[in-house]
Amino acid sequence: MSNDGKNLADIVKNVHRRLRQELHKTGDLESVWINHCRNVPCLKKYASSMHKLATEHWEQLRVSNPATSRINWTWSFLQYYFFSGGLQQHRQKSNSDTEWPKLILNESKVAVLDVGSCYNPFGEYEELDVLSIDLCPALESVYQCDFLNIPLGKTTVIDGQSVLSLATNQFHCIVFSFLLEYFPSPSQRWTCCEKAHLLLLREGILIIITPDSKAAHSNSKVMRSWREALSAIGFKRIKYEKLQHAHCMAFRKNSVESVLKAEDRELLASKMYIPQDFYNPSDSENEEKDEIKFTEAELAEGFTNLPLFDE
């Protein structure tokens, strides 16, 4: 990546780092997030940097090496699942006696909610009906929305360029691409995934893409922990692939909302951790160098998560 690209990436990572530092300092997750959402100059600089990074640097890589693109990966999976028999295959694999209702597409389009979209990269596909939202949009085609705190109801309400509420059981697919690591707390990531489960139609798909340039097995412990937490919500991971710079996962909504005890929710939410959660917030260099340590058994288990393994 060019120096310009590295500088843009540093701006993005520094915002994430400052959020973790503020949480470590105050311990008040709610106030940290509220203050962040009110910091308009910071949000605009982040949005501009992410937009430029994605369109001027990642797009070049997408053209020169399509196999590295999270956009290409997501589109390929949605084609397979909704238009090439994937949904029917996973119904058969589920070994369920459930009378599956027909998953109806509106005008043969897949309803997609792209959360943290920034620049609406999936808007180019005619087969997708995309609602793109972001805390601070970089383009007019993206609507302003704090997904963490957005009310859910019977209808999706949009006022101008802002989304005021989202309808439950409405979307065929929800995309969290480079979203969850933005949040400084595992509980916030868990809340986002719980909301996704409520917003998806049954058999809908949650796509989660999280950055990681290390080898496929290096953070397999993290990916396994996420899989366990999401399973408790009612998601089954049906696709995993490690690209050069990211983990790409597809989760299928298999069940209606589960009722969890408060203590169970707290334990499960803690499973949505990322390696950076455990670094000393004052030591920024460690975030680039360290990684979670594994036992030999855990390392061996990681090799079952190598690219192209379906579950």
Domain with residue 290: its CATH number is: 3.40.50.150
The reply to whether 134 sits in an annotated binding site is yes
| 75 in a structural domain | yes
pLDDT over 70 (residue 167): yes
Q: What does pLDDT average to over the chain?
A: 85
Q: How confident is the model at residue 172 (pLDDT cuts 50, 70, 90)?
A: very high
For residue 233, count other CB atoms closer than 10 A to its CB: 22
| 249 in a structural domain | yes
CA 120 from centroid of its chain's CA atoms: 15
The whole-angstrom separation of Cα 292 and Cα 219 is 7
Report which DSSP code applies to 68: G
Comparing 231 with 105, which gets the higher pLDDT? 231
pLDDT over 60 (residue 225): yes
Integer CA distances (angstroms), 275 to 64, 229, 293, in order: 30, 16, 10
Domain range for residue 252? Answer: 3-301
| 308 in a structural domain | no
pLDDT over 60 (residue 64): yes
The reply to whether 146 sits in an annotated binding site is no
Comparing 255 with 185, which gets the higher pLDDT? 185
Among 64-73, 80-89, 105-114, 276-285, the least confident range = 276-285
pLDDT over 80 (residue 24): yes
| 111 in a structural domain | yes
The sign of the torsion formed by the CA atoms of 152, 170, 243, 66 equals negative
**So what's the pLDDT on residue 182?**
94
| 294 in a structural domain | yes
Among 182-186, 208-212, 216-220, the least confident range = 216-220
- Taking each helix axis from N to C end, the angle separating 29-38 and 40-52, rounded to the nearest 10 degrees, works out to 70
What is the reported pTM?
0.87
pLDDT over 90 (residue 127): yes
Q: Per-residue pLDDT averaged across 249-264, rounded?
A: 81
Total domain count for the chain? 1
| 32 in a structural domain | yes
Comparing 38 with 59, which gets the higher pLDDT? 38
CA angle, 306 as apex, 301 and 309 as ends, to 5°? Answer: 100
**So what's the pLDDT on residue 200?**
96
| 311 in a structural domain | no
Residues 166, 39 contacting (CB under 8 angstroms):
no
Q: Per-residue pLDDT averaged across 36-61, rounded?
A: 87
The whole-angstrom separation of Cα 276 and Cα 291 is 9
The whole-angstrom separation of Cα 137 and Cα 60 is 22
| 307 in a structural domain | no
**So what's the pLDDT on residue 106?**
77
